[in-house]
Every structure is written in C-alpha cells, then in structure tokens.
Structure 1
Amino acid sequence: MHTLAQLRTGQLSGITRLDLACGLTEFPQEIFDLADSLEILNLSGNQLDTLPDDLHRLTHLRVLFCSDNRFTELPECLGRCSALTMVGFKANRIERVTGASLPPLLRWLILTDNHVSQLPDELGQRPHLQKLMLAGNRLQQLPASLGQCHRLELLRIAANQLTELPQWLLQLPSLSWLAYAGNPLEAQAEAAALAATTPIDWAQLRLQQQLGEGASGVIHQALWQPPGQIARNIAVKLYKGQMTSDGSPLHEMHACITAGRHPNLIDVLGQVAGHPEQQAGLVMALIAPSYRNLAGLPSLASCTRDVYADELRLSAPTALRIAHGIASVAAHLHRQGITHGDLYGHNILYNDQGDCLLGDFGAASFHATTDNGQTRALQRIEVRAFGILLGELLARIEPGLSAVDLAALQDLQARCCQPDVLARPEFDEIERLLSEFKHID
C-alpha cells in the first residue's frame, strides 16, 4: 500500500500500479503526474463519492478499483477512458448506471453489493465483456442487449430480484460460470435439508490453526469431542454472513448441505449450533495434507481463466482421474438440482494419484430436478466450464497417451465447449466416456 506523502513528494514516479487507502474524500490531483505510466489504480477503502471529469488524462489506465467507497452512481468519466478494461465498484451505494459510464473496451465489470435496480442497454454494446459481477443488487431484469455479448463467460446475478432467467441468457455461446441463487426465480431445495442436518454443539468443538480463508468464511482445523466419544480431527468453516462476489454465504452453506455425499465432495458432518455470536458454520471432514489446489485464481490479465503453476505436469492416469472425478461429482450435483457455478481448477483439491475433491459452493444455485429446456441449458452451461478445465488438464499432461486417446479427449473437449448450448453432452455421458479410458482404475 502506498501513502499520500509518497505520491505528493514524487517518490512514485513511473509506477504502473498505485494503491491508496487513507480515508480519501477527494481524488488526489497528483495522480495525474503518473499519467505516462499508471495502468492499475486501486482507491478501494476510502470515502470517495466522485472522480474527476478528466480522468481520461490517465491514458494508460487499464484497471480501476473503487470498492468500499461512497459512490451513488457509476461515474460517467469512466466512459471516456479509452484503455480502461476492468472496473470494480463493489460495496458502494450505487443506484444509477448510465451507458455513458461504460468504457468502450470494458471486459470486466464489478458492481457487487450496491443498490442498482436497472442497467443500461449500452452494456450489451461492449463486445469485449467477459466477466460481469452483479450479485447483491436490486435488479428485476437484465437488459436484453446482453444477448449480444458473445464473449461473456462469467455472470454473477445472485441475491437480486429476478423472477426469471431470460431465454437469450441460456443461449449465450461462451457462458460457463453462472450464479443466480437468492432470486425469486430460483427453484429452492427442500427446506428439510437444513432441518435434517446434524446439529453439533459449539461446546464440543475446539478450534485450532486456521487452514484457509475465502470471501465467504474462515476454515479452521478443530477437535470435535461428542459426549462419551474420543475426540476426532475435523474442519470447521465459519461463515462471515456478508455478501460476496458470488452471493450469500448462508446460501452457500445451504447448497453444501443439499449436495449430499459423493466420493469427490468433502463430507459435511453437521451444522454448528450454539455459537456464542450466532455465527453460522459447518463441521466437515478434515482433508489429508497430501491434497493441494490444482490451480490458482484468475489474474487481472487472465480474467476468467485460472493461473496454473508453470512447472505443473500431470501423468495421464492422474489427469484422467481428476477429469473423471469432476465429471462424476458434477453429474451428482445436477441430479440434486444444483449447479456448482464455479467449476474451476482453483476449487479442486487433488493428490498425486488423481483423487480429487470439488469445493467452494459460493456460486451454487438450485434448479428444477425435472427435465426441461431450462434445466438442460443450465446444466450444459456448466459443461462448458468442464470443457475448459479438460482443456487445461490436457495442456499439462505428460507424454504417454496414444494418438487415438488424445484425439478422443480433444473431441470431447470440443463438444463440451461448442457454442450451441443444448448440443453439448450431459455429465452422465461425459462420465461414461471418461470411464472407458484404461488409464482410470
């Protein structure tokens, strides 16, 4: 994090990224002194409600973060920034978004946790739009012009007031990661799912070291000692209870429970009861330390694509076991009326043998379990996400596959990613095809 003093004394001359969080109420004019180099500007965590009309003087500015400020409208000066591709205004008070506020090269827009009730038709006139994050607003409909955004791959519209998913949305050729939970349109799972979950008294749990933290909550290793039983090592996820980029953490907990048991899911042992601060939480099986993340989160440059370690190489059996396991668990979830919504390598834990676990249900949504056009489309949207994952696995596979097997896998990958949504295979077929490879034992 930089300081205002550094900026004002010229110590930051020539930098490409500036991070300022120091209670700003006005845009520091000294930022314009960086116009020849500045590409990423992060002003999140201040008290700003306006930006200068001549922001376009920052001719190299590609990325702008202004989350956790006091904006009530998306500034129209953004639309005049010719190089700007990523705009982030999460957790403000934004009610008004006009077409004039949308940069011509817009690729990634974050308006999570605001008060937006309507979006301009011009949003669909941004042909580079790839990632659109709108969870936690007041939207009752989406502009039909978005049907023209053929590059749109990730859409977060959870926790709004949408009563239907428009047909054009279900036909977008590139859409792969969709979250729409917490809207009136959503087919809710049976409320009995939560009631049937085993309550585990907080007094029986003893938290130990923190294992990880995400947008929705914190995971700890813990000891669970039921009365009269030997203590066992488990994991506890305590939810933060605030809006994330995907949606509501409590809805994530609901989906995690409803998913049920599967070899490629982390076992849910029960729901935390009696937390002193009434914090919601789940008690889960502890994952062996031999498991690790398959990939890292997407970067600013990759946008919707995971970042893999340069040195990562997978044997054919390992890669195929991962692919088969994820296809199997996705098929299971779809039978439960759940789309995961975030089927990515960074949400997969795996070991050297190719055993894998799919985690993070933050973007999960419920749909009808009956077979109809909308259900098929929602499921095939997720098939494209799997196709992208399969391509990433194939790109990192060690030599050893026969030309015939490789061609068959590449054909499957192409079928999963084809632009005709309903022409993609379902996960039951994908699982069956992958199980035929002799590398999977």
Structure 2
Amino acid sequence: MDTLAKLRAGQLTGLKRLDLSCGLTEFPEEIFQLADSLEILNLSGNALCSLPHDLHRLTHLRVLFCSDNLFTTLPECLGQCAQLSMVGFKANRITDVPGAALPPQLRWLILTDNHISQLPDELGRRPLLQKLMLAGNRLQALPRSLAGCERLELIRLASNQLRELPDWLLAMPGLSWLAYSGNPLADKLNAEHAPDSTPNIDWTELELAQPLGEGASGVIYQAIWRAPGQAQRAVAVKLYKGAITSDGSPLDEMHACIAAGQHPNLINVLGRVVGHPQHQAALVMELIAPSFRNLAGLPSLESCSRDVYADSTRFNADSALRLARGIASAAAHLHAQGICHGDLYGHNILFNDQGECLLGDFGAACLHATDDSPHTRALQRIEVRAFGILLGELLQRIDSGLSDQQRAALQHLQTRCMQPEVLARPDFVEICRALG
C-alpha cells in the first residue's frame, strides 16, 4: 500500500495506480502531482465525504474506488472525468445519485450497500454500461431509460425493495447475469419449491481444520464430521457472514443452496449447522477432491464482465463437451426447481482433466415461479445467454478432437443461446439434447 508520506515526498512520480487507506478525511491535493500518469485511484477505507470539484485534472483516470467511506451523495465531479469508466462507492451512506455524477464513458458502476431509493434517468444514457452493482439499497423501481443500455450484461438488484422485475429488463438483449433475491417480488413469494428436508447437523459433531477458501459471503473450511453411530467423514463447512455482498444476502445464498437439491454437477449440501456458539449460519457440504480446480479467474478491470482464463487452460473435445454437458444439465436441474443460478461463470466452475465439473457459488441465485409463463421463461433464457458465453470460451480453447462439422454445430448452438431476442433462445433441456 502506497503511503501518504511517499506521495508528499514526491516519491511516486509516474505512478499509474495509487492506493491510499489511512484515515483520510480530505482528498490529498498531492494526488494531482500524478495527473500525467494516474489511471487507477483507490481511496477505499477512509473517512471521505467529498472529492475536489476539479477531479477532472486527473486526465488519465479510468478507475476510481471510494468504498467504505462517508459519502452521502455520488460526487458530481465524476461526470467531468472524460476517461473514467469504472466507479466504485460500495458501503457508503449514499442517498443521492445525481445524473451529472455519471461519467460519459461509464462501463462499471458499483453502488452496493448504500441507501439509494432512486436512480437518475441519465443512467440509461451511458451506452457503454456493462456492469451495474446495486445490491443492498432501497430501490423500489429502476429507471425505464436503462432499457437503452444494450451492452448491459450484469446487474445486481438483490436486497432492495423491488416488487416486480419490469418486462423491459427481462428483454434486454445482452443481459446474462441477474440477481434479485431479497426483494418483495411476487415471483419469489409464489414460487413452488419442495419442502426443506435438509438434515440438521450439530456444531459439536464438527471439527474444523484448515480454511479452503474465502469469498464475499463466507469462509469454507475442511472439517471432520463425527455423526453419532457413523464413521467419521471428511467434509467442507461454509460459515456465512452476515453482511451484504455484491450479490446480495449470504443467507439468501444459503437458502438457495438448500433448495437446489442433489445433482451430480452441483456441490451437494449434507446438512445445516445448528448450535453454533455465535449463532452463525453454516452448511456442511461434500468435500471436493483436490484434482478439481477453478475453470477461470474472476473478471479483471479490463475485461469487466468476462472471465480471465490462464493461457494453459486448454481442452480436448471430449473433456470440453463433457464439461459443457455437465453445466447445462446442472442448470436444467436448477431451473426445474425454480432457481436461477445468477452467476453462471467459469470462475464458479470446478473441473478436472477428464471434464468432470461442479457448478458452485450460489451467492447470486434467485428463486422464481415454476410455471411456464413468459416471465419465467425470460428469467431462464437470460441464464442461457451466460451459458452461450461459457460455451464460446470453451470452444476457443479446444485443441484437438473436434471435427469441422462438430465445431460448426456448437457455434450454431452458441449463436442461438446468445441471440438478442430473449424468448427465442433454447432452454437448457434443448441445449442438453443438442450437446448429446
């Protein structure tokens, strides 16, 4: 982390990224000394409530993070920053988002965990908008103008006060990842799901070992489960955090995991933890073999809504097709249960060299009605577009074993999955048939 002392001493000349988290109450004027080079500015974790009116003097600024500060209004000076494309003000106290605060090149906007009840119409006049993070606010409606943002691919609306998802939202041609749990939506209230038969597992039966990973919603540990009268078993235990994440509420994630039920390509839930000494919510899940690894990395600042793959991630046709079939089958199963995963991405898929795969991370999962209405079909076909993107990423990485005829058929399927008319896309049952 670069320090304010280094900045004031002139030791950071030419810097492209500056991170300052040191209890700031005012914007350090010395930052303007970096105007000829600074592209990424991270002022998260301070006590700021305003930015200078002439912030546009940072002519190369592309990315600004001001999360975990004290802002009550999104600063209008942002709108004058000609190159600014990513704006992050998570976990502030923002109630007001002026239209003038939205920069013309806006591509990625993060306003998670604030107090926003209304968004300006100007948001729909930012044609490059691709990713919109609004979970944990007080929104009762979305501006109708957003329908004009045809490049919008990901939107997080969880934990707001929305009573409906407008038809225009579900018809957006590029939308692929949608999260809306924790809203008083009729779809969620009317969803018909199987009764919860998940067994309870007492905390005293579990012995936690090393952590396996940590995400926004919780920490996963390897553990030993000693159930009475049974042999001990190696398992994974996820302890959920209570705070709102970029996707929504961790408790909504836990409920979606339970509602998903059992499937060969899902990480199966073994039980719900009861009796935690701090009353922390937790699930016991099957332990995944170490041969499984993440298919892709998270999107970067540059890729925005698209995963980043290692150059070494390559497949033969058999393993890639097995992977695609597995994920399509898991998605078909979820949709039949009245669940949209909401985050169908390579970075949420574990796989091995044989193409065996598991779809995980239900942080953005949402319940929906199980009828065959246009509304339900639209929600499901939005997820089909996400699968089309994934299928394209797999096709780009197949080195051998795929005939020209097979490739053409798969490319045709991908095109159908991603066509702009949402309801004309195939469902996952049809996709499974097409994949053979």
| Residue pair 1:55, 1:77 contacting (<8 A) in 2 also | yes
Shift of 1:229: 2.1
SS in 2 for 1:238: strand
- CA distance in 2: counterparts of 1:302 and 1:394, whole angstroms: 19
1:398 Cα deviation from its structure 2 partner: 1.1
Q: Does 1:177 align with 2:196?
A: no
Going from structure 1 to structure 2, the CA distance change for 1:191 and 1:416 (only over 3 Å counts) comes to: closer
User: Deviation at 1:267?
Assistant: 1.2
Q: Which runs of 5+ in 1 are unaligned?
A: 436-441
Is contact 1:193–1:257 with CA below 8 Å preserved after alignment?
no
Match of 1:157 in 2: 157
- What whole-Å deviation, never above 9, does each CA across 1:290-334 have from its counterpart, x for those lacking one? 100000000000000000001211010110000000000000000
Counting matched residue pairs gives 434
Provide, for residues 58-93 of structure 1, a one-character-per-residue CA deviation record: whole Å limited to 9, x for no partner: 000000000000000100000000000000000000
Please state whether the residue corresponding to 2:167 is helix, strand or coil.
Answer: coil
- TM-score by length of structure 2 reads 0.98
Distance in 2, Cα, partners of 1:177 & 1:376: 15
The answer to whether structure 1 residue 379 and structure 2 residue 380 are counterparts is yes
Secondary structure at the counterpart of residue 320 of structure 1: helix
Aligned equivalents of 2:400 and 2:341: distance in 1? 32
Give me the whole-angstrom Cα distance separating, in 2, the residues matched to 1:364 and 1:401: 33
2:28 equivalent in structure 1:
28
Q: 1:115 aligns to what?
A: 115
Equivalent in the alignment of 1:310: 311
**Aligned-residue offset at 1:399:** 2.4
| Residue in 2 that maps onto 1:101 | 101
Q: Secondary structure at the match of 1:31?
A: helix
Write the distance in 2 (CA, Å) between the matches of 1:10 and 1:94: 33
Is 1:80 aligned to residue 80 of structure 2?
yes
* Alignment of 1:60 onto 2:51: no
Q: Percent identity?
A: 74
Q: Hey, what's the Cα distance between the residues in 2 that align with 1:259 and 1:241?
A: 21
Measure, in 1, the Cα distance between the counterparts of 2:10 and 2:206: 53
How far apart, in 2, do the equivalents of 1:240 and 1:139 lie?
23
Letter of the 2:354 partner, please give it: Q
CA distance in structure 2 between the aligned counterparts of 1:266 and 1:85, rounded to whole angstroms: 36
* Alignment TM-score, normalising by the size of structure 1: 0.97
Letter of the 1:39 partner, please give it.
E
Which residue does 2:330 correspond to in 1?
329
* Structure 1, 229-238 or 250-259: larger mean CA deviation: 229-238
Cα distance between partner residues in 2 of 1:191 and 1:369: 8
C-alpha contact 2:84 2:106 (8 A) present in aligned 1? yes
Aligned residues: CA RMSD: 0.9
Letter in 2 for 1:2: D
Task: Please identify runs of 4+ aligned residues in structure 1 that moved more than 3 A.
Answer: 188-194
Q: Which amino acid aligns with 2:101?
A: S
How many angstroms apart in 2 are the aligned matches of 1:42 and 1:139? 27
User: What is the letter of the counterpart of residue 268 of structure 1?
Assistant: V
Q: Which amino acid aligns with 1:320?
A: L
After superposition, give the CA deviation of every residue in 1:134-177 in whole Å (9 maximum; x if it has no partner): 00000000000000000000000000000111111011000000
3-state SS in 2 of match to 1:252: helix
Q: Report what 2:124 is aligned to.
A: 124
Alpha-carbon distance, 1:197 to partner: 1.7
Matched, 1:6 2:9: no
2:294: which partner in 1? 293
Indicate whether 1:232 and 2:233 are aligned.
yes
Query: Do residues 140 (structure 1) and 114 (structure 2) align?
Result: no
